[in-house]
Chain A
């Protein structure tokens, strides 16, 4: 009864699933842009080297390429930055108007996201305790210093969870909608967007409630704007406004969470 199925009137719809179209688009683009195919892939395959011309989409599923995941040398292509490059990227992340995405296009790095997240985690834990103590002392001058060690755990989960999950979710969403993005670039961008919260932490220690709220609102807006500008550069169309607005909302929610949990 095989013929019966192929002659069904709905069979012409089989090829119109968006995921299938996206795959066709990606394989055609991949063969043109093979030189930067390395950095589009995460985790790395074939020990970091990929012969030009091979479609990167197919390679991700072949079993021969999984050894690259476990060798350190295949990841070092994501850490190919010098001190001055990192400093320049950090400075350009603070001003949302600069073209950050062009700076990282050729050489996205994972050093920045990892160590900015780690620094932010420690700063939140330390300054959060300090700020909470100052606020309590202001209201009730007999409080003694207590160190809440759960701040370390909460900040680690919040910052690293946000950094791992949100760019990955957006990567899959953008792939679903047919845009060719690179997971490493998304991680790089989101990581550098967290830098602005580091000086903000220092300012949030001041125990004036109004000042704290103003500071965190400004930081949230600046950070969300940074994310929106750079995400727009990747999507290059306006019909995904919901996605961009979603990213902005998430970043703003992170800013609010930082204020409300660590500096109540």
Chain B
């Protein structure tokens, strides 16, 4: 028995494959015109199909296989040309691919860093838009808070002389779980905030404390540490105040603000107390 007889094709599927092959042959010419594409046909870059003809995948199926392999073989072969034609079609139909997917990595990193800096300037430093919670952190992101929490944890861990990993774990857990619990607290008190925007804001307000922790790590004197941490603690609380107080009913303002101050004060004590 020849190979072609062991895997009988349904007559209709052969016509489908021919149709798809025609589409591919039509796309190969259009794809080669685009400058961004490599000059070789797109199917070469796809690992599942190795030649323009759809027949080789059939021939790879062992001849001793029973008829059921016909069913998985046909979709596999149909998927291979369909996948390549999909790429050809997408590049053809939408003109150019989405920019953020094909831009250089440095561009993405630069854009994220710029957003972190702009959010920081909006939240932590005095500016005319601070009092407006809708404007203050409209373009929230979680990269900034992540960096600051990890940096604070690492700084505290470096400052500690014993049980460094426990110190990092406690700091990270308090800050991360604390931000989530504080946001839930405002929501439960009937306040109106967006969950991730609030997480983002509480993370950005850690920036002064992170600076304070860095200074305390380099400086050993307790009095200087207390002074520096007090200043940065006041700065953090001042940064978080307008957002949190605007989110709830004025009669419950203190209820929403007290846990925020509690978290920052405990982190500040942690920074001073780590030996």
Residues of A that sit less than 8 Å from B by CB: 72, 75-76, 78-84, 86, 111, 115, 118-119, 122, 126, 129, 144-147, 149-150, 152-153
Contact check, A122 vs B170: say whether CB atoms are below 8 A apart.
no
Partner of A83, one of B163, B185, B188, B253: B253
Contacts of B255 in A (CB 8 A): 81-83, 86, 111
Chain B: residues with Cβ within 8 Å of the partner, total of 28
* Residue B73 at the chain A interface, CB threshold 8 Å: no
Task: Give complex CA distance A82, B259 in Å.
Answer: 15
Task: Give complex CA distance A153, B165 in Å.
Answer: 13
For residue B44, give the distance in angstroms from its CB to the closest CB of chain A: 50
Task: Give complex CA distance A143, B258 in Å.
Answer: 35
Count of chain A to chain B residue pairs whose CB atoms are closer than 8 Å in the complex: 64
For residue A252, give the distance in angstroms from its CB to the closest CB of chain B: 27
Task: Give complex CA distance A41, B187 in Å.
Answer: 21
Question: Which of B90-98, B235-243, B267-275 participates in binding chain A?
Answer: B267-275
Partner of B188, one of A79, A126, A129, A144: A79
Partner of A129, one of B170, B253, B266, B273: B273
* Residue B114 at the chain A interface, CB threshold 8 Å: no
Contact check, A72 vs B188: say whether CB atoms are below 8 A apart.
yes
* Residue B16 at the chain A interface, CB threshold 8 Å: no
Residue of B nearest to A72 (CB): B187
Contact check, B170 vs A82: say whether CB atoms are below 8 A apart.
no
* Residue B247 at the chain A interface, CB threshold 8 Å: no
Contact check, A75 vs B188: say whether CB atoms are below 8 A apart.
yes
Contact check, B189 vs A152: say whether CB atoms are below 8 A apart.
no
Partner of B189, one of A76, A84, A118, A122: A76
Residue of B nearest to A118 (CB): B262
Task: Give complex CA distance A149, B172 in Å.
Answer: 13
Partner of B262, one of A75, A78, A122: A122
Contact check, B188 vs A118: say whether CB atoms are below 8 A apart.
no
Task: Give complex CA distance A144, B252 in Å.
Answer: 43
The 5 lowest CB-CB distance pairs between A and B, nearest first, are A82-B251, A79-B188, A122-B266, A83-B254, A147-B273
* Residue B167 at the chain A interface, CB threshold 8 Å: yes
Q: A115-B259, A153-B170 are in contact. Are A76 and B275 (CB under 8 A)?
A: no
Q: A115-B259, A147-B274, A153-B170 are in contact. Are A79 and B190 (CB under 8 A)?
A: yes
Contacts of B189 in A (CB 8 A): 76, 79, 111
Partner of B269, one of A75, A78, A86, A126: A126
Identify 5 residue pairs between A and B in the complex whose beta-carbon atoms are under 8 Å apart, listed by A's number: A79-B189, A84-B251, A115-B258, A122-B262, A122-B266
* Residue B132 at the chain A interface, CB threshold 8 Å: no
Contact check, B170 vs A149: say whether CB atoms are below 8 A apart.
yes
